[in-house]
Amino acid sequence: MKLDKFCEFYHLGEVLSTENILGGRMHKMFKVKTNKGVYAIKVLNPEVMKRKGSYQNFIQSERISSLAKASGISVSNALLIQGDFIHLFENNYYMVFEYVDGKTLSDQEITVNHCRKIGKVLAKIHQLEYSNLDLKDNFVEYSRLYPWEEYTKNANFQNMTYRELFLKNYRKYNSLLKRANERYNESNKTLTVCHRDLDPKNVLWNEENPVIIDWESAELMNPYRELIETALSWSGFSSNHFDEQKFSSIISEYTKYRKLEHQRYSIICGNLVGRFGWLKYNLERSLGIISKNLEEQKLAEEEVSKTILEINRYQQLIGPMYQIICRITKKEIDQYNSIVERLIENQPLLKGQNYKKLNAGFSNTCYQVGNYIVRICTNVENEVNFEKEIEFYQKNKGNPYIPKCYITDQSKTIIPYEYEIIEYIEGKTLYEIWYQLSEKERKDLIMKLVDTIKCIHTIKVEPYDFKEYLKEEFRKVLKENRMEKELLQKLLVMCDQYFEENHFGLIHGDLHFDNLIYRDDKIYIIDFEKVWIAPIDYEFRIFNRCRFTPWLWASEQTDMLTVENDYQELLPDLIETYEELGRINYLWERLKIYQILEELKKYKKSKNIEIFDKVKKEIGQLNI
C-alpha cells in the first residue's frame, strides 16, 4: 500500500501523516492527513475483492448510504472521485471518506440512552423507500451443512490454538445448523434495506450524535434479523457482558417506529446461520485452505476461537431473548389475567400474591402465583385429560416425586373453568442441565431418574389385552388402500410375536425432559394429563426417539441447546439401570413398533408418502 502515491494520483494532497484505525476485521482503514484535508481511506481486502460481485456490492452499498443521508440519517459516505466510489491503484482497491471527528464506544461506555438512539436510527433505516435503487431480492434458501470433521484432518489443525475448543464443540454443529437453516428459511420473507453490520465499531459518536459508517454490507434482508443482531452487539454480547436492559431498550425504541412481525423465535434461531458461516470461513482461512497469507491466517485463527465461544453464548441466550421480545411486544393484557385475578381474590391460599403468566402447558393456561402454580383448563375439549390429572393427584397424595396438589375445583363457580393449584417446584428442567453434564454425571442422574419413574410404575394396576389394543391402533391408521392393508398384516403379526407378555404399570404417558424438574439433587415429575395403564416400556418411547430428534419436546428456552449426540446413551443407560425394563423380551423391537405407530399417525394426517416409505423400510429391518 502506497498511500502517499495514491493521494498524489487522485489529487487528495500531499500526505502529512497516516494513522491506522482499528476495528475492521476484513479491511484496513487509515486516517490520512494531507495539506488539502483529513480523510479516512479504506484499503479493501484483496481476497474479498476477488469474489464475484464484490465490486458491484460496494457500489450498491454507497447508493444505499446516500439514500440514508438524503433521508436525514447521519452517515459517512465514500467520496465520488473521478466518477467512482472505488479506485484500483497499483493492485489495491481503495475507498476515500471524509474523516469524521468522532469516537466509537466500548461496551463499558455504552449507555441505555445510546441504545435508544441506535434503536431509533435502525427503525429509520428500515423505513427507507428504496424502490428507485433497483435492489435484488435476497431470498436465500439455506440447506447446506458443513464438513466440520474434515477440518480436524487438515495438516495444520494440530497446531491451531483453537484445537481443543473446536474438538469439544463441533459434533453438535450440524444438528443446530440444520434447524437454524429451516428457521432462517421460514422467516426470510420480509425484506427491506438493512445496514447489516450496525455494531458499535461502525457508529461514530460526535458528542451524543451517532454517525453511521461502513455500509459495505448494506442490502435487502429481514429487518428483524438485523434488529436482534444490533441489540446483541450494543448490549455487550460480543465481549460476554450481556446487559438485558440495553438489549431491551433497543427493541423497545425500535417498536415505537416500526412493528415487530411474527416468527420472532424463528428469526432468533435463524441468526445462527451467519455465525456458522463465519466459523467455516475462518476455519478455512486459518488452515490455509483459502488463504496463504500468514497474517490473514493468524487473524482467522483468533476469529475461530471467538466465534466458537460466541455460538455457545448465543445458544444460551436464545430462550431469554425470545422471552424479552415477547414481553416488549405484547400489546394487550392476557385475556385470562382477569380470571386468575378473580381466583387470587377468592382463594385464601392465593390472596395478595403477585402472578405471572407462564409460557408452559400447550393444553392449559398456567400462572405462577407466589409459590404456587395455577393451571386453568381454558380449553374445554381438554377437560377429560385435565380431570384425569386431578384424579391422579387425589390418589397419590404424599408421593415425594410429584408436586403437592393443594386445591382442585371442577365446579366452575369462582371462574368458568376447571382449575387446580399445585406446588411450584423451583428448579430446572432436565433439558436445561443435560447438555452441560459429563458422561458420569449423566449416569448418576439416570439413577435418580429411575427412582422417580418407579414411584409411578409400581402403583398397582389391572392388566388388559395390550396386544389387542395395539392391533386396533394400527387398524385405525391403516385401512384404506391395498398397500396399507399389506403393511397392516405385517404389523399385526409383529404384535403377536413381540407383545405376548407385558409388564404393566401406571405410566406418565408423556415422559420427556421438559416434564422432569431437577432441584436439590432430586427429580420431580410434572404434568399428569396423559397418565394411564400400559406396559412400562411404553413409557420410554419418547426417550427412544430422543436419539434422533430430542428437541421435539423442548421449549423455546432449551430447543437450541438440545442435540442428538447428547442423547445417544440415554435409553441404553436407563435400560441398564432399570432392571425390570431390561428383562422385557423383545424390548428394542417393541420400542420400534411404538415409533412406527407414531409415524403412521403422522402419515394418516399428512398422507406424506415419504413417511410411509420410511415405515416400510423400518418394518423390513425387524425380524418376524
| CATH number of the domain to which 294 belongs | 3.90.1200.10
Residue 21 lies in a domain: yes
* Same domain, yes or no: 70 and 126: no
Vertex 478: Cα angle to 477 and 484 (nearest 5): 150
pLDDT of residue 291: 87
pLDDT of residue 463: 96
pLDDT of residue 269: 96
Reported as a single tens digit per residue, the pLDDT across 569-607 is: 999 999 999 999 999 999 999 999 999 999 999 998 888
pLDDT of residue 24: 58
Mean pLDDT along residues 345-349: 95
* Same domain, yes or no: 26 and 76: yes
pLDDT over 80 (residue 36):
yes
Using alpha carbons, list the distances in angstroms from residue 399 to 48, 139, 212: 65, 55, 62
Vertex 548: Cα angle to 544 and 551 (nearest 5): 95
Handedness of CA 579, 581, 586, 588 (dihedral sign): negative
* Same domain, yes or no: 388 and 505: no
Give how many domains the chain has, as a whole number.
Answer: 4
For residue 124, what is its C-alpha cell? Answer: 429509520
Domain end point (choices 423, 445, 476): 423
Lowest-confidence segment of 163-172, 422-431, 480-489 by average pLDDT: 480-489
- Return the higher-pLDDT residue of 251 and 137: 251
* Same domain, yes or no: 171 and 311: yes
* Same domain, yes or no: 229 and 317: yes
Mean pLDDT along residues 495-499: 96
Domain end point (choices 65, 98, 131): 98
- Distance between CA atoms of 334 and 336, rounded to whole angstroms? 5
Residue 54 lies in a domain: yes
pLDDT over 50 (residue 332):
no
* Same domain, yes or no: 368 and 448: no
> 122 pLDDT band (50/70/90 cuts)?
very high
For residue 268, what is its C-alpha cell? Answer: 432468533
Q: Rg of the chain over CA atoms, in angstroms?
A: 30
32 strand-pairing partners:
18, 39
pLDDT of residue 484: 86
* Same domain, yes or no: 547 and 416: no
pLDDT over 70 (residue 362):
no
Mean pLDDT along residues 190-212: 92
* Same domain, yes or no: 304 and 391: no
Reported as a single tens digit per residue, the pLDDT across 50-105 is: 888 788 888 888 889 999 999 999 998 888 899 888 999 998 999 999 888 889 99
Domain containing residue 70: CATH number: 3.30.200.20
* Same domain, yes or no: 200 and 315: yes
pLDDT over 90 (residue 533):
yes
Lowest-confidence segment of 179-188, 302-311, 512-521 by average pLDDT: 179-188
* Same domain, yes or no: 182 and 41: no
Of residues 84, 77, 97, 100, the one with CA closest to residue 12: 97
Mean pLDDT of the chain: 93
Residue 106 lies in a domain: no
Of residues 448, 452, 461, the one with CA closest to residue 399: 452
* Same domain, yes or no: 307 and 351: no
Residue 429 lies in a domain: no
- Distance between CA atoms of 50 and 41, rounded to whole angstroms? 20
Mean pLDDT along residues 28-47: 91
Residue 116 lies in a domain: yes
Reported as a single tens digit per residue, the pLDDT across 458-481 is: 999 999 999 999 999 999 999 877
pLDDT over 80 (residue 532):
yes
Residue 103 lies in a domain: no
Lowest-confidence segment of 14-18, 21-25, 125-129 by average pLDDT: 21-25
- Distance between CA atoms of 67 and 192, rounded to whole angstroms? 13
Amino acid at 437: L
pLDDT of residue 47: 80
pLDDT over 60 (residue 331):
no
In our burial notation (b when 16+ CB lie closer than 10 A, e otherwise), range 158-194 reads eebebeeebeebbebbbbbbebbbebbbebbeebbbb
Handedness of CA 62, 64, 65, 66 (dihedral sign): positive
pLDDT of residue 360: 67
* φ, ψ at 353 (rounded to 5°): -90, 145
> Do residues 285 and 291 make contact, with C-beta atoms less than 8 angstroms apart?
yes
pLDDT of residue 173: 98
pLDDT of residue 206: 87
pLDDT over 80 (residue 334):
no
Structural domain boundaries enclosing 468: 437-620
Residue 474 lies in a domain: yes
Of residues 289, 339, 299, the one with CA closest to residue 24: 299
Residue 520 lies in a domain: yes
* Same domain, yes or no: 510 and 552: yes
pLDDT of residue 58: 85
pLDDT over 50 (residue 135):
yes
pLDDT over 90 (residue 335):
no
Domain end point (choices 423, 456, 478): 423
